[in-house]
Amino acid sequence: MRRQRIAAAASTNSWTRAWAKLMAIASQVAEVTTRTLREPGAEMASWPLSPKPSSAGRARRLTRAQLADWRAAHHSEVAELLVTELVTHALHHATGPIRLSLWCIDGTVRCEVEDAAAPVPPPVRDYAEEPERGLGSLIDELACCWGSVPTPAGKAVWFELPHRLLP
């Protein structure tokens, strides 16, 4: 019995160490991504959102106004739709505050929604097997790329719209 407890404790410690290493690597990736987005010439805006359903509408309005200010209104319709999806996803799956951040780098628009939920699993690519439309299916169709990164608070899900909209 004692030997089993020792083996279980050793196994738990191994998993704990492995998880700590993985989170350290993820934090470094998030730091590099954030540094990249703070390049000279990059525009950035960020707002806290309350964990209320009305935040989806507020996120749309903020996105529309900011893109117009950056003279990137041609991205507005798609960006508003996808930002609404991300904020709604955060409201449904997370608790606590949400943050909407937008960047414009050389005409490419990046939108990010951060929440306090655990990181999302890798995107499912076989949507035929999903009875509901997944978060990724709409974003895959409309954005050039997207993903999620762990943050100190939880995770951030992001997407990018290229300088010129894809046909």
Give per-residue pLDDT as tens, 92-113. 988 889 999 999 988 899 999 9
For residues 60 and 17, membership in a common domain is answered with no
CATH number for the domain that contains residue 139: 3.30.565.10
Whether the predicted model's global pTM rises above the 0.75 cut:
no
For residues 9 and 68, membership in a common domain is answered with no
Q: Which domain covers residue 84, as residue numbers?
A: 40-161
For residues 25 and 62, membership in a common domain is answered with no
For residues 7 and 87, membership in a common domain is answered with no
Which has the closest alpha carbon to 108: 68, 75, 84, 134?
Answer: 75
For residues 123 and 75, membership in a common domain is answered with yes
Q: Is residue 167 part of a domain?
A: no
Q: Is residue 166 part of a domain?
A: no
For residues 71 and 151, membership in a common domain is answered with yes
For residues 65 and 21, membership in a common domain is answered with no
For residues 4 and 32, membership in a common domain is answered with yes
Q: Hey, which bits of 6-96 come out as E strands?
A: 43-49
The pLDDT tens digits for 21-31 are 645 554 554 44
pLDDT tens sequence for the chain (167 residues)? 555 555 555 555 565 665 556 455 545 544 444 444 556 678 899 999 999 999 999 999 999 999 999 988 999 999 999 999 999 999 998 888 999 999 998 889 999 999 988 776 555 445 445 445 566 788 989 999 999 999 888 999 999 998 765 44
For residues 80 and 11, membership in a common domain is answered with no
* Dist CA 35 CA 24 (whole Å): 17
For residues 99 and 47, membership in a common domain is answered with yes
For residues 56 and 1, membership in a common domain is answered with no
Domain count, the chain: 2
**Residue 157 CB burial class (10 angstroms; 0-12, 13-18, ≥19):** buried
For residues 71 and 88, membership in a common domain is answered with yes
| Residue 123 main-chain phi, psi, to 5 deg | -60, 145
